[in-house]
Structure 1
Amino acid sequence: MYIVVTADGPRGTEYWVVNTRDAIDRNIDEHSIVERYRNPDEAHEHVDRLNAS
């Protein structure tokens, strides 16, 4: 299962698609992030597609 994590950083707000296992088991790092988005709708659409498969 995948989720969207909102992250505020120096480049502004990003929306990360992350595997929930990575989010629970350890801190989220570069290897945990499936994809980064600036648009939250795109991030949620990606999560919906991943979770449907």
Structure 2
Amino acid sequence: MSIAVGNGPSREAVVGPAALLVQKDGRPLYRSMKYVEYVETQLTKTIVDGKSLLEQQMI
């Protein structure tokens, strides 16, 4: 028997990439967002203005 269980942060938790991995000249390249916004973004997979999901998150 298998049971699927969802596990993640609170919907209101702010998530973002590890700063040391995505900085240029001491500034972040990508923005942080609420976890619920991240999940909604991943589920829609919409290209806006010709930009991929990753490009849309760049600052």
Q: What's the TM-score once normalised by structure 1's chain length?
A: 0.29
Structure of larger gyration radius: 2
Q: Which has the higher strand share?
A: 1
* Greater relative CO (CA pairs within 8 A, separation 6+): 1
Q: What's the TM-score once normalised by structure 2's chain length?
A: 0.28
